[in-house]
Structure formats: C-alpha cells, structure tokens
Amino acid sequence: MSLAIAEIISQGKKLSALADEIPEYPYKQISIHLREDPDGVMLRLKDALAKMEPDTLDGLKITTDSYSVLIRPSNTEPILRLYIETAAGNMKELEERYQEIIRRAMKA
C-alpha cells in the first residue's frame, strides 16, 4: 500500500486523474441452464479449449491481451456461468463464440 501511495505522490497527479487513465473493461455475466451433469460439460469444454491453455484454478479461464473469459459451474444450481470482460469492443462476438462452444459441449 505504501508503494502505491509513493507512486501517486511521485507523479504529482490527483488520484482521480490517475484512475481516469485505467482502461474500461466492459463486463458481462451469462447463466446457461444445464440438463446434464456440469462436470461432464466442463470436461468436454476443457478438451475443446485446450489449445487456448485455459487456467483451471476456478473453472476455465481464457486470458488474452484484449479479453478475458471465465466459464465455471455454479455451486448451487445446474447452470454454467460465462463471464466476459473485454476492452476491444467485441463483446457480442465473444458472447456468441463462447456460447456456441458451450452449446456444442452440452450436445456432445
């Protein structure tokens, strides 16, 4: 924390001005209802997304320079949650692409 404060002071800018320099990352969450075991769907998704080398710590997370996608099962309901965050203005494209990948994993 003290390093962050020192950085703010050294730049001689107001904190609000520094915050304005942080890029916007629009965010969307989509819930996809399942009629089957979420674990089976997640295994098929892991195979389908293997080339993108997803982080598997909390579901399947794909991170690129311009976007981040996380697919994870709910712990309380038979649904998958799809989280998308992007700075590239391609939210709709990412939403369609990953929903299609999920639909294919559900049908397999």
Containing structural domain, residue 88: 23-107
pLDDT band, very low/low/confident/very high, at 74 (cuts 50, 70, 90): very high
What pLDDT score was predicted for residue 24? 76
Q: Which amino acid is at 67?
A: Y
d(CA 62, CA 88): 15
How does pLDDT run across 3-53, given as a tens digit for each residue?
Answer: 777 777 787 777 778 778 777 778 999 999 999 989 999 999 999 999 999
d(CA 11, CA 23): 18
Considering its fold, how many domains does the chain have in total?
A: 1
More confident residue, 56 or 5: 56
d(CA 43, CA 9): 49
What is the phi/psi pair of residue 66, to 5°? -115, -10
With contact defined as beta carbons under 8 Å apart, do 61 and 69 qualify? yes
d(CA 42, CA 72): 8
Within a domain: 14: no
CATH at residue 62: 3.30.310.50
- First-to-last CA distance in the chain? 49
What pLDDT score was predicted for residue 17? 80
Within a domain: 15: no
**Apex CA 54: angle with CA 80 and CA 69, to 5°?**
50
